[in-house]
Amino acid sequence: EAGVAQSPRYKIIEKRQSVAFWCNPISGHATLYWYQQILGQGPKLLIQFQNNGVVDDSQLPKDRFSAERLKGVDSTLKIQPAKLEDSAVYLCASSSDRERYEQYFGPGTRLTVT
């Protein structure tokens, strides 16, 4: 079984530029999560999808962050414009309906904003 795929693995941009991250969850997993992990901290949930719909986006800075999950499969997270404090690892995870609490994580995208 293929795991959660993410790309790119690394990205360096200047502040005020835009960036997008892509995630392909495990096949058949209905729930998809995006987390932000700042150096030295645990992952913080940004947004959670159940199929196409948003379950929780309470911690997503909506003035600059957006996310979509078209057709209930792949997902894209965008930041526009980026700030220095957005430097972090962005983790995507997915889980099945049968065991929603058991999350499988991708390798993450390390973003550096200069």
Residue 107 binds other proteins (CB under 8 A): yes
Least Cβ distance, residue 110 to other proteins (angstroms)? 8
Q: Which is nearer to other proteins, 42 or 70 (CB)?
A: 42
- 79 within 8 A of 65, measured Cβ to Cβ: yes
Alpha carbon of 102 to those of 4, 32, 99: distances in Å? 13, 12, 6
* Interface residue with other proteins, options 16, 44, 62, 83 (CB under 8 A): 44
Helix (H, G, I), strand (E, B) or coil at 84: helix
Least Cβ distance, residue 31 to other proteins (angstroms)? 8
Alpha carbon of 39 to those of 22, 94, 104, 110: distances in Å? 21, 22, 20, 10
* Interface residue with other proteins, options 32, 82, 93, 111 (CB under 8 A): 93
Residue 43 binds other proteins (CB under 8 A): yes
Q: Which is nearer to other proteins, 38 or 84 (CB)?
A: 38
- 56 within 8 A of 63, measured Cβ to Cβ: no
Residue 106 binds other proteins (CB under 8 A): yes
- Binding region for other proteins (CB under 8 A) out of 11-19, 38-46, 71-79, 80-88: 38-46
Name the amino acid, one letter, at 71.
Answer: K
